[in-house]
Amino acid sequence: MKRITKIIAIILTVLSINCTSVFAIETSVSRYEIKQKLLEVGVNENKIDSLVTKIQDGEKLDCMKEKYNNIKPTVKSWTDTGGYEKYVYPDGSVKTLSVTPAIVTGSIIDGTRTSGSNWYEWKNARVIASWGVVTASFYANIFGATGQGKINKVWGKGVTVVGGTFSGLDLKTVRAETTNSTPAQARLYFIGKCTGDFGQSTFYLRLYVPYNSAPYAKFSMPN
């Protein structure tokens, strides 16, 4: 997963400063450059001058203060494919968080596959993928042909989290039959609580059966 956190007004990318401490701005960074950076990340124009002055005076901005750690986002948008949050603090400083999912290609293995001219049927196929300490799988019966794709059944969900736990396990067929623009889809959902850098994250293992090509699987962790 790619996670990007921008602490606005601190201009970390320009100054390379630890955001947990009060800092002294480098003289090589002009007031104009700071203003432009603040504009880029969405600070209100009416607040920019006062924030630049605080930065140049070495003051800690509100977005750096612990007492505002529980502030609610002014903008929040999340889906299973990522999300965005924006926090605006009393002095006008801003923090944004954007998350895009990392995606791993899964495998479809085992079972019994039969095929003919422009068609196939795959029974007891195992859909499986691993991401670090997390492995997820389920079974499916699928059918494909020229202009057709269908998921007949899914079952046998399973998750392993080495050194962690999982909850909320849910397997369902999202779309049983494909169309010429949208593949048939089944998905396994769960929440994994892992050691190391994973922490707690939502996982999706998806099986796709498209219109005129081979089935495939994707494993994603959007947040």
pLDDT of 137 strictly over 80? yes
- List the beta bridge partners of residue 182: none
- Domains, in order of start, for the chain: 2-100 (no CATH), 102-221 (2.60.40.3860)
Cα(185)–Cα(217) distance, integer angstroms: 10
Per residue in 33-73, pLDDT tens?
778 777 777 788 888 888 888 877 878 888 878 888 888 88
Query: Using an 8 Å Cβ cutoff, are 187 and 206 in contact?
Result: yes
- Answer yes or no: pTM beyond 0.85: no
Instruction: Quote the mean pLDDT of the chain.
Output: 77
The answer to whether the CB of 141 falls within 8 A of the CB of 108 is no
Mean pLDDT on 103-127: 92
Q: Are 111 and 123 in contact (CB under 8 A)?
A: yes
